[in-house]
Amino acid sequence: MADTPWVLHVDLDQFIAAVEVLRRPELAGKPIIVGGRGDPNERAVVSTASYEARAFGVGSGMPLRIAARKVPDAVILPVDHEAYLEASERVMATLRAQPAATVQVLGWDEAFVGIETADPEAYARAVQAAVFERTQLHCSVGIGDTLVRAKVATGFGKPAGVFRLTAANWLDVMGGRPTKELWGVGAKVSGRLSKLGIATVAELAAADPQDLIPEFGPRMGPWYAQLGRGEGANVVDDTPWVARGHSRETTFQRDLTGAAQVHEALRELTSRVLEDIAAEGRPVIGLTLKVRYAPFSTKTYARKIPATSDGNEILTRVLELASGIEAGHPIRLLGLRAEMPMPDDARKGHTPTRSGW
DNA sequence: TCTGGGGTCCTAGGACCC
DNA sequence: TCTGGGGTCCTAGGACCC
């Protein structure tokens, strides 16, 4: 049989928890929750829970305090970015070492791999074996004829399995499922689709793209219809990703109350963002200040700035933006994002939404 | 003491220009 | 007394993903 092009989506199983178990084997089989500084009394959320902890209803994004309450015996660990990054790099290097593989990294623990083969399942098994041999980590692999189908397929392969999703079985497998299971459809959009009488993937697949434009706009409407069919790009793009910006944000363990506290926090936030930017040697062309007033209402203040601005000028601009902050309201979070100019040939974003996918 | 932190992209509406 | 229409840029707000 002739070689044909395939998209593989490789996704590490409970990645962060698995990395923690590797360096502390005695944790194997225990409910592990990783989040914040590992202190369930602090304002923080769960980054990852092991399968054992998930059985208690704990998932990522859940407040750490609540997660700890659900699993009294949980091992709660602080987030250790360095360790995960290092493990991730070993995984990605392993993928790039596979025969004729094109690798597009999507995050710490997942990547698309483009290949040409007559037997994608065999290739996928070889990838799993290589990753395990080099890192002691298990991964699941989705096989697809588009990026979207490969990505969705992985969920059916977990844990440590392989699953193939193509035009031939897409509707059989996905058609009866809620639209929220699609990559790029969340709670809000699935709710809006329901109001249009579209609850399942099959119904979305059958929708006329034009009919979705009034509700979702000229790009997103047709995009959702395409998503329902599992169609879209099928080319894995390994051109290096370039960040459009960098941001930092801090949730304060105690809400800030006075202007002096806010000023000091902004100064520190700005210097952290500028460090990240400086590491790339690119100018800053825009700033967005995010303010969460306690308990949870968020406002943003944005401004373009001249690309020639130096650190002092940028700090001045940040403080100007901050003059919009409403006096007298306690502040729970401050965030600052700095935007950088993009080279024309930069690869488009790393999420499935919109252009090119 | 409920609610992270780092990203991407789209949409709507107003300002401004021709 | 009537005040178009298209294009672009900017800001604010959302939605989603890992």
pLDDT single digits (tens) A37-92: 999 999 999 999 999 999 999 998 899 999 999 999 999 999 999 999 999 999 99
Partners of A103 in the β-ladder: A113
Average pLDDT over residues A8-27: 96
pLDDT single digits (tens) A242-259: 999 999 999 999 999 999
Same domain, residue pair A21 and A145: yes
Residue A88 lies in a domain: yes
Same domain, residue pair A111 and A62: yes
pLDDT single digits (tens) A221-237: 999 999 999 999 999 99
Q: How confident is the model at residue A291 (pLDDT cuts 50, 70, 90)?
A: very high
Looking at the structure of chain A, the number of domains it has is 3
In strand C, the nucleotides that come within 7 Å of a protein beta carbon are 9-18
Work out if A299's Cβ lies within 7 angstroms of strand C.
yes
* Domain finish residue from A140, A164, A188: A164
Residue A354 lies in a domain: no
Same domain, residue pair A219 and A92: no
3-state helix, strand, coil in chain A (%, to 5): 40, 25, 35
Same domain, residue pair A58 and A148: yes
> Is A110 noted as a catalytic residue in this protein?
yes
Q: How far is the CA of A156 from the C1' of B15 (A)?
A: 50
Average pLDDT over residues A159-186: 97
Nearest to A100 by CA among A79, A118, A84, A82: A118
Question: Which residue has 């070689």 as its token pair?
Answer: A3
CB A9 within 8 A of CB A115: no
pTM: 0.93
pLDDT of A1 over the 90 cut: no
Residue A252 lies in a domain: yes
pLDDT of A297 over the 80 cut: yes
Tokens representing A212 are 């979705």
Burial of A192 (0-12, 13-18, 19+ CB in 10 A): middle
Give the nucleotide at minimum CA-to-C1' distance from A11. Answer: C18
Contacts with A222 (C-beta within 8 Å, 6 or more apart), sequence order: A209, A210, A212, A213
Same domain, residue pair A60 and A160: yes
* Domain finish residue from A164, A191, A211: A164
Same domain, residue pair A119 and A178: no
Q: How far is the CA of A136 from the C1' of B8 (A)?
A: 31
Give the nucleotide at minimum CA-to-C1' distance from A192. Answer: C15
Structural domain boundaries enclosing A128: 1-164
Give the nucleotide at minimum CA-to-C1' distance from A65. Answer: B2
Q: How confident is the model at residue A296 (pLDDT cuts 50, 70, 90)?
A: confident
H or E stretch covering A335: strand A331-339
The domain that contains A315 carries what CATH number? 3.30.1490.100
Same domain, residue pair A11 and A133: yes
Burial of A83 (0-12, 13-18, 19+ CB in 10 A): middle
Same domain, residue pair A147 and A39: yes
Residue A1 lies in a domain: yes
pLDDT of A169 over the 90 cut: yes
pLDDT single digits (tens) A88-143: 999 999 999 999 999 999 999 999 999 999 999 999 999 999 999 999 999 999 99
Same domain, residue pair A252 and A280: yes
The domain that contains A20 carries what CATH number? 3.30.70.270
Share of chain A above pLDDT 90, in %: 90
- The pLDDT assigned to A352 comes to 52
Of these residues, A110, A133, A215, A275, which one is catalytic?
A: A110
Residue A256 lies in a domain: yes
Residue A234 lies in a domain: no
Same domain, residue pair A22 and A103: yes
pLDDT single digits (tens) A270-279: 999 999 999 9
Residue A306 lies in a domain: yes
Same domain, residue pair A215 and A91: no
Same domain, residue pair A4 and A145: yes
Higher pLDDT residue, A142 or A2? A142
- What number of residues does chain A have? 357
* Domain finish residue from A199, A229, A259: A229
The domain that contains A205 carries what CATH number? 1.10.150.20
Work out if A108's Cβ lies within 7 angstroms of strand C.
yes
Residue A235 lies in a domain: no
Rounded CA-CA distance A134/A247 in Å is 33
pLDDT single digits (tens) A305-355: 999 999 999 999 999 999 999 988 999 999 999 999 988 777 766 655 544
Ramachandran bin of A288, using left for φ above 0, alpha for ψ from -120 to 50, beta for the remaining angles: beta
Work out if A301's Cβ lies within 7 angstroms of strand C.
yes
- The pLDDT assigned to A350 comes to 60
- The pLDDT assigned to A345 comes to 72
